[in-house]
Structure formats: C-alpha cells, structure tokens
Structure 1
Amino acid sequence: MDAPVEGARLTPNTGLVHVGGMSVTVGWLEKKQTDLLTRYGIDIVRITPQPGKIAVGVRRPERSILHLADAWLRRDLEALSPNLNMALLLGEKEDDGQLFYLSLASDFLEQEMAAPHTLVSGTTGSGKGILTKNLILDICAFNAPQNVDVHLIDPKHGADYLWARQLPHLKSGIVADKGEAAVLLRRLVAEMEDRYRLITGAGCENLDDFNKTRGPSDRLPRVVIIFDEVANWMQDDEFKDEVDGLINEIATKSRAAGLHLFMIYQRADNQVMTMQLRTNLGNKLILRLGDEGSSKIALGEKGAEKLLSKGHLIAKLGTDDKTYGQVPFISKHEIIGLAQAIARTWAR
C-alpha cells in the first residue's frame, strides 16, 4: 500500500514519520507491525492518528540522550520564578522537539492548566525514578521554600532520596513509616479543611485569590505530596483501609486549596488503586509498562507496553490527548550536586 510521507523528524527515541491518512489506516498498520518487523526489521513502537495523517514512530538503532542540564538551559519559567513556578518541566515532545510542562497552577505558554493531581507509573528501568527526581528538583529549584511545602512518602526508607533530605522544602523530612504516613495524611486533610475556611471566609474562591489579598508572611504555600511505591504499602489491608479515604478526599476536593498529589506506581492495578482515585488523578505520566492490560489501567488505553523504557513517556495532562516525549536524564552524581546547590542557594 502506497502512502504519501507528509513529514519526518528524528527524535531521541524514534524516527517519526507522518503518513497521509487517506491511503493508509491505523488498523492496517497495526496488523502489519509483526510482518514489517520480521521481514524488514522495521520496529514500529507508536501509531498515533492525527488530523489527516498518522504519526508512525520507528525505533532508532541507537537512542540519543536528552540531559536535564541542557533541557533546563532551554526551558521557560513562570514570571514569579524563582519565588513561585508550578510549571514543571516534563521533557521534550516527540512530535516537534519542543519542551513541555506539567503546569499545576495556571495556563503556561500554549499549554492549558493541567489537573491538580498526577499518576506516575512505569516498570523497573522505565525511567520512573528519574522523572520523579526531576520533578522534585524542579519544584525545589524554582520555588522559594516558604511558597511550597513538599511531603515525600517512601516505603523504601528514602533510599533513593537521601540527597533530598537537605532540601528546605521537605519540612517533614522523608516519611518512611506507615503510621507516620497515616498521621501525615490525616493532618493534610485537616489542613485542607482549614484552608477552605480561611479562603471562603475571606470571600475568595481559591488559594491564588486568597494570597493576593495577603502580605508575604500571611500567604499560604502550595503543598505537594509525593507518595512513591504506593503499591508496596497498599497491599497491607489495614493500612489501605486507614488511608484510602484520606487520599481520595485530598484527590477529590483539594484543588482550590492548593494541594497536589503525585501517586507513583510500578504497576497501577485495581487492587492498589480505586477507580475513584484513578479518575481523580487527572494527569497521567506513563512510562513503559509490562503489558497491554497494565497500560489500559494506568493510561486508559493500550500503548505504554510499546514504549522503549529509559524515560520514553506518554503524558495525558488533564485531558485524553496524548503527548509522546522523552524525560531528561540526570546521573546520581549530578543529582547530589544539584541538590546541594539548591540547598545552598535557599540558605542565603
């Protein structure tokens, strides 16, 4: 079947070819994937319908690396940065090579404001850990500690985040105990309710409007809750029963109060994440998953099982529109140095 090539570009992961949609169909390409691989060595990892055309991603023999330092040099920031910047860099888009962001507080550049809460999922080696560390570094580098509180819950006793203990935004340190995690979540629900009383009592609709009416010392910070390896503790029925309602309450009603959840799963299945929570985690940052079923649960459709690992990402940011991208890489040594630099800067 002949199809016109309407454009092509090289991405960090694939050769991306746009073919005309009038003479070839998504269904035909999907049926021919195995044949193209075995006969011609063409490994198609992405087939995305677009207006009048189809984007086809063919695996590169060797992938290129996008470094976080290079991405930060190219990035944009909100006007109030470094005091306040909730447009968090995600990576580079495959379709056009532009950077894209998770903008939690407002519209940013050409992107609409994302949903307040985020699901991150990916298997071992997918790049999930690098993405999570990038987000923490981004929050702490470009937001003053008095403007953003970060709470990090990690069942692995903070082993992957030892460098983060020095960051002044983590005022509660790293929570690595189930009992402490439950106490923290109860406290955050109570804080959310207190915030609503303050905000509505001042005749305001949300945190941003409230803070505009207050002096610097009376403003309320945004609160970011990062819960890593959620499934590890959610397999404990007693813990799950204790915190499920708390997490769902934050996910359901905290947007105007300025609380943001990041729930991080290696595999987001029905036993560790309720349908209600999955719905309320409106942003989906999905890296490679092990099978089509896992992709359908986390992403809402197949496709994540075809990603190439090491930061190859599908993002849905408050809508059902998919953005394919590459997460920037940063080494362990660079993470430690950057965290130290951030801590020194805010200590001045």
Structure 2
Amino acid sequence: MAQDHPLRPWLEQQAERIERLCEARGLWVQCQGGVVTPRLVRFHLLVHPSIPLKRLLSLEEEMALALEAPRVRFCREGGLLALELPRPQPAIVALLPLQASLDPLPPFTALLGRDSAGAPLLLRLSSPEVTHVLIAGTTGSGKTALARTILSSLALANDPDDLRFLLVDPKGQGFAPFQGLPHLAAPILRQGAEVQEHVGRLLQEMAWREEAGIRRPRVLLVVDEVADLLATEPTLAEPLTRLAARGRSAGLHLLLCTQKPTAEALGSLLRANIPCRLVGRVVSAQEAVVASGIRGTRAEQLLGRGDFVLVTGGETIRFQAAYIHGQEILAMVEMLRDEHLKQGQATALRAARRVPLPAHWVTRLLGSLRAHPSETGQAAGARRSR
C-alpha cells in the first residue's frame, strides 16, 4: 500500500486490529501490505504454517465486528492469503476513462472492470472458456448494469461489420439507451412472438454458417431476465439450448441475465452449455453454488452494486464492474451511428481489410462527455484477459 495514500491512517489502524484479534485467539498473523481498489481493501496476511486455515475462516464475523465493517472475506489466490473488506468511501469504476487508458482491446473482448488486485479485467468472447456468459445475482447486484458495460465496451472496440447484437429486453428499460446503435441486428425485442421469430432466424443462420464454415460477423444474443422470459415463452428453451450447444463454431454467442439461474428455470442442458458465469450477490451459500456451478465462490458475501466474481475455466476472480451511465450510452450510440453513416463505403472497405476502429474513438467520446459532465471515475493500466 502506498506510503502517501489518503487512507493510510485508517489502513494502519485496521492492520493493527487484525493482528490484535488474531493474537487474542492464539493465532500468529501479520499484515504485510495489500491493495486498495475503488471498492475494496485487500490486506495480505503472513500466517504461521501451523495455523489451520479453517480457524481463520471461523473468525470472519468477529473480524467484521472488530474492523467495524459490514462483512469481511478471507480469500486465497495461489500461495497468498488475504483479507478483503469494503473501503470506507467507495469510488465508481467508470468504463469510459478506464477503457480510454488501455491499449486497443483485442477483437471481441469486453472490459469488465477492476479485479481485486486493482487491475483491469478483460473477457474475450471468442475464448473456448467463455463463448457464452450467464450473469446471475439478486436485485441490486448490478446484473443489467454489467450487461450494459459489456455491450458498450464491445461496441466501442469492434466494427458493426464484425460484431452484431440482438437484444431482448422484456421490461423495455435495461437496454433502451442502445436503440439506434449500428451494431444492432434488429430493433430491441420485447414481445415473445418477435423474440421467437428472431431466435428462429439465428438457428437458420447457425445451420447455414456450419455448412459454409463461416463465423463472421459474430452475433451476441443478449437477454435480460431470461428466466422470466422462459416462464412466459417456454418454447424458447429448446432453440436457446441449441444455440448454446452449437453456436460457438458458427460465431454465435449468448449473454443471459437472471435472478434465478436454477436448472428448473433455465433447463439443465442450457445451464450446462454456458461455461462462463458472472455472479453477483446472492442470498445464501447454496444459491452461490447454483449460480456459479462450483463450490467456494462465497458469492453470498459479495457487497452488491457491481461486486462480482468471474467463474471460468475452474478459476474464480472477484472484480468490481465498470459502470457507464445511461446518458453516456446515449452519447456513445449517437457518435457511433453518425460515424457509421459518414463513412459509407469506407466502412465496408475497412471491414473487408479487418482494420479495427480508430483507437481514439473512446477518447473522443470521453472528451465530449467532459464538456457535458455526467458520472465518471478513475483509470489505470491493464492485466488480465479471459
């Protein structure tokens, strides 16, 4: 932790409290630095080899009380043991300045936010460990906001001729700001009949692409509250399952949001074919297992409001989701639509040559928003990619 960090007095006080409580319980533990992220503080712990990990884990409630925190969480990454707790004044991880600070993202890669070490976390749709994504969590966990972040990040980094979106928004609120985005393969869908029609067309497209050996343009089908949609339109379960099972080879991907990621709500085959999970706060350890597909994520201890764990390839990474305001999305859509219309023939030529969008687009958008301020936050370097 930086010597001149504004939270330094508080950090030193908390480190002393951690060591004192452990000493009172007969445990030899020392705090050896850590990381301060926009949402969390992570204390790195040096623990005597004779101390069983279970004894430390049993102290979580006592530790939260001693640190005056709503909850704390012990976690292990490799050979590092750490204690995570909320920072007293959390900061927003704003998508636009963070993405503007990075090198151009690889194709079909979204910026999720910052991981528990403070580094930007990327998600590559074309990776075999990703392909399809399920976002799960209770109300207030930030599911729809995270889906909007993923869509915005992808739209800013990929040409509409390389990546298209098909958005299903039964409530008509979550994805409304994206109406008019040049990446949309159709207007935003709300009614069951039109969803059935377009999903059926995707199945035909998949069959044609498999026969022709074609993957581009990639298509991302995004459904908000998919369990509710399947409850009213149960016949959609079979085509969604087919897309999940065979879509990757045809360049077709799913991004599904739900509060109820159970096999009863989604179908066991659909769940089994979604390898990547983004899990927000849930109410119990049992629901954390249901949402993530594995034990030990401890998603029931997350803070909500964008605090997520990424589960893919047997690895679990906690992160704070980046945020983009609705007004920022509207400005992005207007800019991308205007640029797409202006370029005309040049757009088709660029797509044919596989030349990415100019890297300065995000910076230009950020500059225009600073002229008309909305919600923004910090930025820094890059690390992980999935």
When normalised by structure 1's length, the TM-score is: 0.84
Query: Equivalent residue for 1:62?
Result: 89
Structure 2 equivalent of residue 100 of structure 1:
121
Match of 1:223 in 2: 219
- Where 2:220 maps in the other structure, the secondary structure is strand
Could you tell me whether the CA contact under 8 Å between 2:144 and 2:224 is conserved in 1? Answer: no
* Equivalent in the alignment of 2:109: 87
**C-alpha separation between the residues in 1 aligned to 2:196 and 2:44?**
49
CA deviations on 1:59-96 (whole Å, 9 max, x unpaired) are 222212211122112223346xxxxx20111111112x
1:339 equivalent in structure 2: 333
* C-alpha distance in 2 between matches for 1:228 and 1:294: 19
CA distance in 1, matches of 2:167, 2:192: 13
Distance 1:142 1:57 in 2: 32
Is 2:30 aligned against 1:4?
yes
Give the paired residue count: 313
Structure 1 residue aligned with 2:196: 182
Q: Find the residue that maps to 2:277 and give its secondary structure.
A: strand
State yes or no: 1:18 paired with 2:11. no
Residue 175 of structure 2: aligned partner = 161
Query: Map of 1:131-146 to 2, 5 A cutoff?
Result: 131-146=146-161
Q: Alignment partner of 1:192: what SS? A: helix
Identify the match of residue 35 of structure 1 among 29, 45, 62. Answer: 62
Instruction: Identify which of 256, 260, 275 aligns with 2:253.
Output: 260
d(CA) in 1 for partners of 2:173 and 2:130?
A: 29
Cα deviation, residue 164, structure 1: 1.1
Q: In the TM superposition, what is the alpha-carbon distance from 1:150 to its structure 2 partner?
A: 0.8
- Counterpart CA distance in 2 for 1:144 and 1:52 is 41
Q: Which residue of 2 aligns with 1:308?
A: 303
Aligned to 1:286: 279
- State the Cα RMSD in Å: 1.9
- Counterpart CA distance in 2 for 1:117 and 1:11 is 28
Q: In the TM superposition, what whole-angstrom CA distance separates every residue of 1:294-338 from its partner, at most 9, and x where no partner exists?
A: 211111335112111121110023x12111111112222222222
Equivalent pair of 2:63/2:72 in contact (CA under 8 Å): no
What is the deviation of 1:270? 3.0
Distance 1:19 1:121, change over 3 A: same
Question: Which consecutive residues of structure 2, in runs of 5 or more, have no partner in the other structure?
Answer: 1-26, 343-386
Secondary structure of the structure 1 residue equivalent to 2:249: helix
Give 1:130's aligned amino acid.
A
Question: Identity of paired residues, percent?
Answer: 26
2:321 pairs with 313, 324, 327, which one? 327
8 A Cα contact 1:77 1:87, kept in partner: no
Judging changes above 3 Å, is the alpha-carbon distance between structure 1 residues 9 and 251 closer, same or farther for their aligned structure 2 residues? Answer: same
